[in-house]
Structure 1
Amino acid sequence: MNDGMLSQEEIDALLNIGSDDEPDETLHTNEVESLTGIEEDTLGEIGNISFGSSATTLSMLLNQKVEITTPKVSVIQKSEIKEELTFEPVSIQVNYIEGFTGNNLLVIKAEDAAVISDIMLGGDGISPESELTDIHLSAVQEAMNQMMGAAATSMSTVFNKKVDISPPTIKHEDDGTIFEEDAYVKVSFQLRVGSLIDSNIMQLMPIKFAKELVHQLLNEPAENETAAAVEELEKPAKEVEAPVAQESATEELPQYLGNNMNQNNPQVQQAAFSTFNQVELNQKEQRNLDLLLDIPLRVTVELGRTKRTIKDILDLSSGSIIELDKLAGEPVDILVNEKLIAKGEVVVIDENFGVRVTDIISQSDRLMKLK
């Protein structure tokens, strides 16, 4: 303009430019935290181990072959999650109550949840009901409870400390409270259940919690504790070879199923036996004895027993729970050729079950039992 004053259009243009610049600065200051390559690999390995155990548990529950692919780890914003939910979601939230402080969220398709619930309730999973009722959601919740319980047991072994979870909570629809964080670490994998399910599952955890898992696994104290646990596992074999009186020491023990009975200051006495090597035998007798020692015997570990009526047996189906006559943490029976010879406590070594012998009959009584 000739008078040197700005027109209203020019003033509006200047104001629009200023308003456009401000959000860019805000976006830069609120940039989402990312993961390093080591953190992604570590979280992927944790997911691979824990979900491997979960797959085994789910296979037993559904009586179907269950396969889980290698997890993929990435960071995802809250807005991006909603864009990925192109299906009807069912979410299961799990809170850690011991070992860690945090939670994670599993998101599966409603149609997959319907298949799982149908099998849990005695169906074949081929033609499940399209509508998920409260009883169907309860069945899915129980399946996920056992799956995540198995995952927590695996994490106990990995982190060399007790890890426990609260019963999971399940939601069928997003009521605005499912995704509370601005960003999550997404662990996605492919789940295949026989020929019934072939789809993706997402595990979402807060970034802070994910980084804490990586920190606890990779720091040096955790490695020292793991070495101490391995040494403790090898300790019984060493004591049998050369029993030496030792003072009480606080050492990390393997993960126990249930409550470990009498694990503090157990009274252990070394029994003295005469060995066959001390008996002088001729060549033929020694050869016969060697043949006897090579005879294979069936060793069975019995968790417990129960009695049920014929009606109860006929009513059993996949997912049924049978209560045994033993309390959690009680010693299990160790039988050789169906004869009771020892008692022990169940431990987890890597991903396998084992039994630590806590009480055993004398060698002569063992020989009598084997007649």
Structure 2
Amino acid sequence: MGITLDELNGIQLDVLKEIGNIGAGNAATALAKMIDKKIDMNVPKVQILEFKEVPELIGGEETPVCGIYFRVEGDITGHIMFLLALKSSKSLTNMLMARDDETEAMDEIEQSAIQEIGNILSGSYVSSLSALTNLNIKISIPSLAIDMAGAILSVPVIQYGQMGDKVLLIETELIEGGHQVKGFFFLIPDMESFETLLSSLGVLK
């Protein structure tokens, strides 16, 4: 039986938090290059949460969100989910397209843009993880869903329930001019991949 998030000790959690910090920094740099503007970043919050606590963090189960899913493959396997409140998604696409669209609806161009941004940001986290662990880690093509937080989060609960009820969550806040974007990055490795991940970081007990 593999190690689960419930069984991580303080040192292991600190290492995972450091990965979150480095990944968020790289994600901000990648986004700044993409839009050719300076991006400021607040210190990311990294925590282990129960799935049922996540919707409240985002604003409640009925909050409209964009969810971008990836399958993780290579030396470790699992899933990544990048969640943005719809308001933050609009801020991101406004940044990218240098416009100020206040509507909530997202057209096809904006959906494509947010998918690409999610791809770049998640790729930054995975690159950081890969560099720190010397593991070969790849992510699949992203798939995008726009729905209420409760509906989108019910998918990982069903799919990843065998891991227990908890998830590693990295909350990142990016600021550019008058735009403020809060994103939530979930890393959900398959059970056996936790041991691989922690062993490669030298912190497996």
Q: Which interval holds the TM-score relative to the shorter structure?
A: 0.7 to 0.9
Higher alpha-carbon Rg: 1
- The answer (yes or no) to whether the contact 2:66–2:89 under 8 Å persists in 1 is yes
Aligned 8 A contact 1:191 1:198 in 2: yes
Deviation, 1:219, is 5.3
1:133 and 2:94 equivalent? no
Q: TM-score, normalised by structure 2?
A: 0.76
In the other structure, the counterpart of 2:39 is 66
In structure 2, the residue matched to 1:145 is 119
| In structure 1, distance between residues paired with 2:27 and 2:85 | 18
Q: Deviations over 1:44-101 (max 9, x none)?
A: 1111122221111111112222233333332222222233332322111222222321
CA contact (8 A) 2:28 2:39 kept: yes
Distance in 2 separating the partners of 1:85 and 1:150: 22
**Which runs of 5 or more residues in structure 1 are unaligned?**
1-31, 221-371
CA contact (8 A) 1:106 1:201 kept: yes
Separation in 1, partners of 2:102, 2:195 = 39
Structure 2 partner of 1:198: 180
Q: Which residue of 2 aligns with 1:110?
A: 86
Normalised by the size of structure 1, how large is the TM-score? 0.45
Report the alpha carbon displacement of residue 140 of structure 1 after superposing the two structures with TM. Answer: 0.5
Deviation readout 1:279-335 (Å, 9 max, x if unpaired): xxxxxxxxxxxxxxxxxxxxxxxxxxxxxxxxxxxxxxxxxxxxxxxxxxxxxxxxx
Alpha carbons of 1:70 and 1:37: their partners in 2 closer, same or farther (altered >3 Å)? farther
Q: In structure 2, what residue type is equivalent to 1:177? A: V
User: In structure 2, how many angstroms separate the alpha carbons of the residues matched to 1:93 and 1:132?
Assistant: 18
The 5 Å alignment of 1:32-71 reads: 33-71=6-44
Residue-by-residue CA offset, 1:98-135 (whole Å, 9 max, x unaligned) = 23211121211111111222343xx3243344211333
Root mean square deviation, CA, Å: 2.6
Aligned equivalents of 1:211, 1:43: Cα separation in 2: 13
Pick the structure with more helix per residue.
2
Residue identity (%): 21
Q: Name the structure with the higher strand share.
A: 2
Contact preservation (8 Å) 1:98, 1:163:
yes
Write the letter of the residue equivalent to 1:213. Answer: L
Aligned CA distance change for structure 1 residues 211 and 113 (closer, same or farther; 3 Å): farther
Q: How many residues align?
A: 187
When residues 150 and 205 of structure 1 are mapped into structure 2, their CA distance, relative to the original with a 3 A threshold, is closer
Query: Take 2:174 and 2:102, find their aligned partners in 1: how far apart are those partners?
Result: 17
Deviation >4 Å, runs of 4+: 209-212
Asked whether the equivalents of residues 97 and 165 of structure 1 are also in contact (C-alpha less than 8 Å), the reply is: yes
Segments of structure 2 that go 5 or more residues without pairing to the other structure are: none
Using the alignment, how far apart are the partners of 1:203 and 1:192 within structure 2? 13
Q: Which has the higher contact order (CA 8 A, sep 6+)?
A: 2
* Aligned position for 1:274: none
Structure 1 residues 112 and 105 mapped into 2: Cα distance closer, same or farther (>3 Å)?
A: same
The 8 Å contact of residues 90 and 170 in structure 1, kept in 2 or not, is answered as yes
Matched-pair contact (CA < 8 Å) for 1:108–1:200: yes
Change (3 A) 1:212 1:97: same
